[in-house]
Amino acid sequence: MSDLLDNAARRLRKAYTSDPILPLRETLQPTDIDAAYAIQEINTRFWQDSGRKIVGRKVGLTSTAVQKQLGVDRPDFGVLFEDMQLSDGGVLARDRVIQPKAEAEVALLLAKDLDMIAATPEDVADATRGAFVAIEIVDSRIQDWKITFADTVADNGSSAFFVLGKDEHPLDGLDLLNCKMQLTVNGELASSGTGAACLGHPLNAAAWLARTLAARGEPLRAGDLILTGALGPMVALKPGAAVTASVEGLGTVNFTFDGENA
């Protein structure tokens, strides 16, 4: 089995710089959680050994509708590397992604470790230094986004890049439950939602992540960044797209998906 997992991990890594691959059906059953995370971990270790630095985690599948679509009853997570961050107002070159989509999120920066297996949203709030508006650019190394739960987990949560707003905000006084989100593309509204769309509250998603990682012996630490999950539907990107996300209380953040290669 280990050879199969190693081969799947290599195929996913290669797809970053070549063509997307077929779904991993010959290796993974659609809901094989353990094997999917094993593949993700193989690639995480490979990238760390290659010099990439982990700066946090992302939570995905925070929408119950999407969970039902993929036949699961839980979110998933992926690893955030330092080189995945774009600057606010920056440009994403076309050749750095395959089939990108954008979603607006709440990001949290931790001031304390979160190593409790029974972590609550209140524990997350106590450990959080501040919150940011964020855009996550998701991508898939699987052809045409024909993914199962196992595919997206193995593919590092279908991660690619992220953009943080310039301003950090303390949680006190923020209404992350009812905060309204709008994501525009070239000035036109493309997605909207509220904090409640993210597992009922962004702190719920972060608490799930904290519990899950603590149980795996890989707890969140002070200084880690958490992308808590989408507040509205993902939006497919076309070259030339100028993308702006706003979340009440957190401000705005933007980037441009350029039609030119890097």
Q: For 247-258, how does the pLDDT look when each residue is reduced to its tens digit (9 = 90+)? A: 999 999 999 999
Closest listed residue to residue 144, CA positions, set 102, 101, 97, 99: 99
**Which residues on adjacent β-strands are paired with residue 225?**
56, 109
Mean per-residue pLDDT for 33-55?
Answer: 97
CATH number at residue 114: 3.90.850.10
Scan for tokens 């769309």, then name that residue. 197
pLDDT band at 27 (very low <50, low <70, confident <90, very high): confident
pLDDT band at 2 (very low <50, low <70, confident <90, very high): confident
Average pLDDT, the chain: 94
Residue 262, domain member (yes or no): no
pLDDT value at residue 69: 63
Scan for tokens 């401000």, then name that residue. 251
Are 21 and 145 within 8 A, CB to CB?
A: no
DSSP conformational letter for 140: -
Q: Name the more confident of 72 and 246.
A: 246
How many Å apart are CA 16 and CA 237, to the nearest integer? 18
Angle, helices 33-49 vs 2-15, to 10°: value is 60
How many Å apart are CA 19 and CA 39, to the nearest integer? 19
Q: Which residues span the domain enclosing 27?
A: 2-257
What's the total number of domains in the chain? Answer: 1
Are 74 and 152 within 8 A, CB to CB?
A: no
Q: What's the chain's length in residues?
A: 262
Would the pLDDT of 25 be above 90? no
Are 129 and 168 within 8 A, CB to CB?
A: yes
Residue 209, domain member (yes or no): yes
How many Å apart are CA 40 and CA 86, to the nearest integer? 23
Pairing of strands 128-138, 101-110: antiparallel
How many Å apart are CA 54 and CA 225, to the nearest integer? 10
Would the pLDDT of 260 be above 70? no
